[in-house]
Amino acid sequence: MNARVVAIVIALAALATLPHWIQGDYYINVSSQILFSAIFALGLNVLAGYGGLVSLGHAGLLGITAYAVGYTLQAGFGHPVAILAGIVIGVASMAVYAVLSLRATGIGFIMITLALGEIIWGLAYRWIGITNGDNGISLHGRPQPFGLSLNSPAAFYYMTLVVFLISLAAMTMFVRSPLGAALMGTRDQPRRMNALGYHVWAIRFWACLFSGLLTAVSGILFVYYTQFISPQALDLTSSAEVLLMVIAGGAGTLFGPVVGAALVVIVKSVVSAYVTRWNMLLGAIFVVIVIFMPEGIVPGTVRLWRAARRRFVPTAAPASKAGAPP
Amino acid sequence: MTFWLLLTVNSVTFGSLLFLLAAGFSLIFGLMRIPNLTHGSLFMLGAYFGATMVGGLLSIEFDFWVAALIAAILVAAFGAIVERFLLRRLPGQQIAQVLATLGISFMVADFCLMVWGGDPINVATPDSLTGFIRLGPMVFPNYRLAVIAIAVVVAIGLWLLLDRTRLGAMIRAGVDDPDMARVVGIRVSQLFTIVFSLGAALAAFAGIIGAPILSVYPGIDQDMLPLALVVVILGGSGSLLGSFVGSIIIGFIYNFGQALLPELSYFVLFLPMLLVLLVRPQGLFGRFVP
């Protein structure tokens, strides 16, 4: 437990001082990308990890929020209205998405969410009157909370970091709350939970809304970061990417999706310096992780760490006893 | 009048192509209980293989139908490899299997982009079918009629296979109750490979005979996969009749939607799926809820 606290403190210190020890705007921007992707992955992890509901349409939800922000700004409203619209429309879309997709679980849920994600993509692509089609919507400028400009990479990084830490705290509280425990119950034993008097559907629905809230928050950061939203951000590849973050890092763990997000964003940034597309690698990582490390990187490492400790600690304890004076 | 008639012919043709794609998808889903997310990629691979052979491979220009057959066999072999060496390693883990097929589909898409580039490839209509049939004031393109005829023949063939042969009886048993089928001595895992290859062959065949109509381009896999998904959700998984009816319905909605409501065509396409999910989650002719 102490090691965990130390690790968290070190990670926090490293994150808080990151713009000072990382050289170059490019790397600070990559860090911002990691953080808002991590919020997105946390949101998907609520369903895929803790709820056992693998959603393959989450990029569509992120896109709806991003389009809502872009459209509201384009219509001449200010940033507070745009952010509010992004969150309200994002969560409301999630509610519709949940009502439709929660008619099934398991494979059925995957299929329905995949189809819904494609519908949203198709709307973004074809409904040119609203979304400007393939050309997308451009934003102009970032909000200035309390008069602070977010235009520099470091300032935007700090904003993203604050939102990320709040999201992570909210996630921790959710997982430890009765609702979180009930959600894990519905994942492992839905029928037993039902027999115990829990309303399985309602628990899943509330989990979906929480997931939608995190997704919307990530979508707002995403659209302010890129200053642009186009259908490409909503396609199946994007949904698969965020799912890869969750699964690679470790579905159903608190920090797994964060590690997964860092891994995916870094690999993507590094690889895209050499090749223009990275779908081949994305697919290969997917297959390899699914086959060889289905539990993900964080639980996998924890398991290896525990195994190593078990090997060394018990041998150390008897040795000290034997060495003690009689 | 001609406009509506042409639209109808196009709808039935597209529905026929969809049926070839969705029949295998539905059988795989019915038997293995997973949506095979590589199905669009198999369609695309078949189309690219066929287009390459028709366009001339090693300075031999293959006949269209020979090319279609070879492409189907090659893709069937690829499907068998995916099933044997990948999905077989993840027995009983359906979600892991779905994710593995998703990973493969990304790899195939990138592979096709690397080999065949980003430009669409047009495949010429086979010479014997370039003409038209006139019926009074109406004109029907021969090739489209041929595609419809092929789909009908394949539908009858599949029905005979499933309904009249020993293999078909085993597949039906596997769809209805895989565990019980195993108990009575059916080697269900062998059926998995057979059905997966058959589905892959049908998808590839659809890809190449669809190529003169749709042409072949990067991203055709992601255009076709959701359609197959919708057909199966609509018609019911594991049901041949369901795939047939579903394909024709979606063929009509897709073509009429594109012609009448181009901006909302995608939305209109998925409406019947949503209705079916709300009213009859197992699909129109399905036997189980996925």
How far, in Å, CA of B44 to CA of B40, rounded? Answer: 6
Would B99 be classed as within a structural domain? yes
CA distance B68 to B61: 13
pTM for the full model?
A: 0.83
Most trustworthy range by pLDDT among A70-79, A307-316, B196-205: B196-205
Residue B240 confidence (pLDDT) above 60? yes
8 A C-beta contact, residue A225 and residue A107:
no
**DSSP state at residue B129:** G
Predicted pLDDT of residue A14: 83
Task: Quote the CA–CA distance of B284 and B239 in Å, as a whole number.
Answer: 9
The enclosing domain of A247 has a CATH number of 1.10.3470
Minimum mean pLDDT range among A210-214, B41-45, B108-112: B108-112
The closest of A19, A215, A127 to B257, measured between CA atoms, is A127
> By C-alpha distance, which of B217, B72, B50, B22 is closest to B126?
B50
Residue A318 pLDDT class (50, 70, 90 cuts): very low
Residue A303 has pLDDT above 80, yes or no: no
Contact B98 A107 (CB under 8 A): yes
Would the pLDDT of A90 be above 90? yes
Query: Does residue A266 carry a pLDDT above 80?
Result: yes
Instruction: Tell me phi and psi for residue A94, to 5 degrees.
Output: -60, -35
Residue of A nearest to B106 (CA): A283
Which whole number is the average pLDDT over A232-239?
Answer: 86
Domain assignment present for residue B3? The answer is: no
Is A16 part of a structural domain of the chain? no
Task: Give all strands (DSSP E) within chain B, no chain letters.
Answer: 132-135, 138-141
Residue A100 counted as domain residue: yes
Structure tokens at A213: 């809230």
Asked if residue A326 is part of any domain, the answer here is no
pLDDT at A325: 46
| CB within 8 Å of A254: residues ≥ 6 apart | A168, A171, A172, A175
Q: Is residue B227 part of a domain?
A: no
Question: Nearest chain B Cα to A122, which residue?
Answer: B266
In a domain, B229, yes or no: no
User: Looking at CA atoms only, how far is residue A284 from chain B in angstroms?
Assistant: 6
Q: What is the mean pLDDT of residues A300-305?
A: 77
Judged by CB atoms within 8 Å, which residues 132-191 of B form the interface with A? Answer: none
**Closest residue in chain A to residue B98, using alpha carbons only:** A107
Beta strands in B113-269 (DSSP E): 132-135, 138-141
Q: Which residues contact A279 (CB under 8 A, 6 or more apart)?
A: A237, B106, B107, B109, B110, B113
Domain count, chain B: 1
Q: Which residue of B has its CA nearest to A115?
A: B226
Q: Which residue has the tokens 């057979």?
A: B194
- H or E stretch including B55? helix B39-55
Instruction: Decide which of A174 and A119 is more confident.
Output: A174
Grade residue B287 by pLDDT with cuts at 50, 70 and 90. Answer: low
Give, as one character, the DSSP assignment of residue B130.
-
**B281/A235 touch (CB, cutoff 8 Å), yes or no:** no
Banded model confidence at residue B239, pLDDT cuts 50, 70, 90: confident
What pLDDT score does B290 carry?
Answer: 55
Burial of B154: CB neighbours in 10 Å, binned 0-12, 13-18, 19+:
middle
CB atoms within 10 A of CB A211: 29
Please name the helix (run of DSSP H) or strand (run of DSSP E) that holds residue B147, with its range, or none. helix B142-164
Q: Is the dihedral of CA A286, B105, B196, B28 positive or negative?
A: positive
- Examine the pLDDT at A326 and tell me if it is beyond 50: no
Query: Which DSSP symbol is given to B141?
Result: E
**pLDDT digit string, tens, across residues A139-151:** 777 777 776 777 7
Q: Is A128 on the interface with B (CB under 8 A)?
A: yes
- Domain membership of residue A9 (yes or no) is no
Decide if A14 is inside a domain: no
- Quick one: pLDDT at residue B59? 67
Mean pLDDT of B154-173: 87
A110 in reach of chain B (CB within 8 A): yes
How far is A85 from B64, CA to CA, in rounded Å?
54
Give dist(CA B167, CA B165) in Å, integer.
5
User: Residue B230 domain-assigned?
Assistant: no
- Tell me how many domains chain A contains: 1
Residue B198, domain member (yes or no)? yes
In a domain, B149, yes or no: yes
DSSP code at position B37 = T
Ramachandran assignment for A44, one of left (phi > 0), alpha (psi -120 to 50 degrees), beta (any other): alpha
More confident residue, A133 or A96: A96
Least confident of A75-89, A294-308, B18-32: A294-308
Per DSSP, the three-state class of B209 is helix
SS3 B62: coil
Q: Which domain holds residue A121?
A: 27-321
A59 within a domain of the structure (yes/no): yes
Contact by Cβ (8 Å): A30, A269? yes
Chain CA centroid to CA B160, Å? 19
What residue numbers bound the domain in which B51 lies?
15-222
Beta carbons of B192 and B83 less than 8 angstroms apart = yes
Full 3-state SS string of chain A: CHHHHHHHHHHHHHHHCHHHHCCCHHHHHHHHHHHHHHHHHHHHHHHHHHCCCCCCCHHHHHHHHHHHHHHHHHCCCCHHHHHHHHHHHHHHHHHHHHHHHCCCCHHHHHHHHHHHHHHHHHHHHHCHHHHCHHHCEECCCCCCHHHCCCCCHHHHHHHHHHHHHHHHHHHHHHHHCHHHHHHHHHHHCHHHHHHCCCCHHHHHHHHHHHHHHHHHHHHHHHHHHHCEECHHHHCHHHHHHHHHHHHHHCCCCCCHHHHHHHHHHHHHHHHHCCCCCCHHHHHHHHHHHHHHCCCCHHHHHHHHHHHHHHHHHHHHHHHHHHHCCC
Residue A276 is predicted with a pLDDT of 66
Collapsed DSSP state (helix, strand, coil) of residue B185? coil
Q: Do B264 and A100 touch (CB under 8 A)?
A: no
Phi, psi of B139 (to 5 degrees): -125, 130
Q: Residue B64 pLDDT > 70, yes or no?
A: yes
Distance from CA of B56 to the nearest CA of A (A): 27
Q: In this structure, are strands B132-135 and B138-141 parallel, antiparallel, or unpaired?
A: antiparallel
**So what's the ipTM on this one?**
0.78
The pLDDT score that the predictor gives to residue A233 is: 87
For the ranges A222-226, A231-235, B2-6, the one whose mean pLDDT is highest:
A222-226
Quick: pLDDT tens for A18-54: 777 777 888 888 889 999 999 999 999 999 989 989 8
Q: Which residue has the higher pLDDT, B2 or B159?
A: B159
B39-55 and B64-85 helices, crossing angle to 10°: 140
Residue A11 included in any domain? no
Our measurement of the distance from residue A151's CA atom to the centroid of its chain's CA atoms, rounded to an integer in Å, reads 24
Structure tokens belonging to residue A130: 């609203």
pLDDT at A317 over 50: no
Burial of A10 (0-12, 13-18, 19+ CB in 10 A): exposed
Within a domain: residue A58?
Answer: yes
Q: Which residue has the tokens 């946390």?
A: A42
Is B188 part of a structural domain of the chain?
A: yes
| Beta-carbon separation of A126 and B266 below 8 A | yes
Percent of chain A residues topping a pLDDT of 90: 32
Tell me the nearest-neighbour CA distance from A322 into chain B, angstroms. 48
Residues near A81 by Cβ (< 8 Å), separated by ≥ 6? A72
CA distance A132 to A74: 12
The residue whose two tokens read 């595609």 is B147
Percent pLDDT > 90 in chain B is 12
Alpha carbon distance B104, B86 (integer Å): 10
* Contact flag B229-A280 (C-beta cutoff 8 Å): no
Q: What is the mean pLDDT of residues B209-218?
A: 86
Q: Hey, of B115, B266, B271, which one would you mutate to test binding to chain A, going by the most A CBs within 10 A of its CB?
A: B266
Residues of chain A with C-beta less than 8 angstroms from the C-beta of B94:
106-107
Mean pLDDT of chain B: 84
pLDDT for B13 beyond 60: yes
Residue B37 in contact with residue B105, Cβ under 8 Å? yes
pLDDT band at A1 (very low <50, low <70, confident <90, very high): low
Q: How many CB atoms lie within 10 A of CB A139?
A: 19
